[in-house]
Amino acid sequence: MAISGKRERRSMWFASVPMGLLALSCIYPLYFALNNALKDNRGYILDRFGMVTDPSFENFVTAWSRARFSEYFLNSVITTGGAVATLLLVSSMAGFALAVLRFPFRRTVFVLILASLMIPVQVILVPFYQTIIATGLLNTRIGLIISYTAFFLPFSIYLMTAFYAGIPRDLTEAARIDGARFLQVWWYVMLPMGKPALLTLGILNTLYCWNDVLISLLVLQNERTLMVGITALRGEYTTNVPLLAAGIVLAAAPIVVIYLVFQRRIVAGIAAGAVKG
């Protein structure tokens, strides 16, 4: 027993080294951005990687006003909130149908949804942009909300289907025997039980939509979202890196806080969906 315990501790140490390096590679960019955002341009040029000695919040104030962050922040909140709400509603109903209901070609539909996950976004950008123009959705918030919903819906349906497939069918059958219709079964039985997966899905989709640049840049060309607005802080010939870092920190701060608060629920929800599927 003692020998096996030593081997287990040794294997844990071996595993902790690469995991620690991986964590450091994720944390260091955050530190680098925040540290340089507190410097002036001269301090950054003299010592890019050293810790700030005379911190100043002037870059944050300048970035907020110059990049029109208040306007772009509102655009990001509206488009992200609308897309996430739509994704939760549609994916929950689709996941319920694919996991519980029995209809022809159900498995074929699910396989096609999974297959769409393997299509790179860059492959469909041209027809996507043509569709946005043809439908009159260019430079509209609703167009960006629909675009986010279309791009992130396959993964959302997969996660909800995997989660709902693990719920005992006795619950849905009992509700049907009591006279509940399928929509009532979804609303009163499946939706409350799917709250862990819905919360995880909501957080993940919030991360995806908030951090998106490519889709937003194509759809909202006049009114920008926050991540696209950061590009206004770049100069034509030279870039004030501390100012740009301050803009990045301001744009990433809300989403980092959300992730830190709900990180355990994210991992738990993904694990539950993977095991039950």
Q: For residues 208 and 142, what is the distance between their CA atoms, to the nearest angstrom?
A: 17
Q: Is residue 56 one of the residues assigned to a domain?
A: no
Q: Is residue 52 one of the residues assigned to a domain?
A: no
* Whether residue 7 is found in the same domain as residue 144: no
Cβ 159 vs Cβ 201: under 8 Å? yes
pLDDT of 34-81, one tens digit each? 898 888 888 888 888 888 888 888 888 888 887 778 888 899 999 999
pLDDT given for residue 276 in this prediction: 46
Give, in order, the Cα–Cα distances in Å from 161 to each of 10, 95, 113, 157, 276: 40, 4, 11, 6, 10
Q: For residues 113 and 83, what is the distance between their CA atoms, to the nearest angstrom?
A: 19
| DSSP structural state of residue 232 | G
Q: Is residue 248 one of the residues assigned to a domain?
A: yes
pLDDT given for residue 169 in this prediction: 81
Stretch (H or E) spanning 228: helix 226-229
Q: For residues 153 and 271, what is the distance between their CA atoms, to the nearest angstrom?
A: 19
* Whether residue 28 is found in the same domain as residue 101: no
Stretch 160-174: mean pLDDT:
86
Give, in order, the Cα–Cα distances in Å from 144 to each of 38, 47, 152, 228: 34, 41, 12, 13
pLDDT of 203-219, one tens digit each? 889 989 998 988 999 99
- Has residue 131 got a pLDDT over 50? yes
Q: Is residue 203 one of the residues assigned to a domain?
A: yes
pLDDT given for residue 266 in this prediction: 65
> Lowest-pLDDT range, 39-53, 81-95, 112-126, 226-240?
226-240
Q: Is residue 122 one of the residues assigned to a domain?
A: yes
Token pair of 195 as six digits: 């709250």
Rounded to 10 deg, the angle between the 69-99 and 58-66 helix axes is 80
Q: Is residue 49 one of the residues assigned to a domain?
A: no
* Whether residue 7 is found in the same domain as residue 73: no
pLDDT given for residue 6 in this prediction: 61
Q: Is residue 186 one of the residues assigned to a domain?
A: yes
* Whether residue 28 is found in the same domain as residue 93: no
Domain count, the chain: 2
Count CB atoms within 10 A of the CB of residue 154: 19
Q: Is residue 97 one of the residues assigned to a domain?
A: yes
pLDDT given for residue 271 in this prediction: 58
* Whether residue 140 is found in the same domain as residue 30: no
Q: What angle do CA 95, 97, 100 make, to 5 degrees?
A: 95
Q: Which domain holds residue 99?
A: 69-276
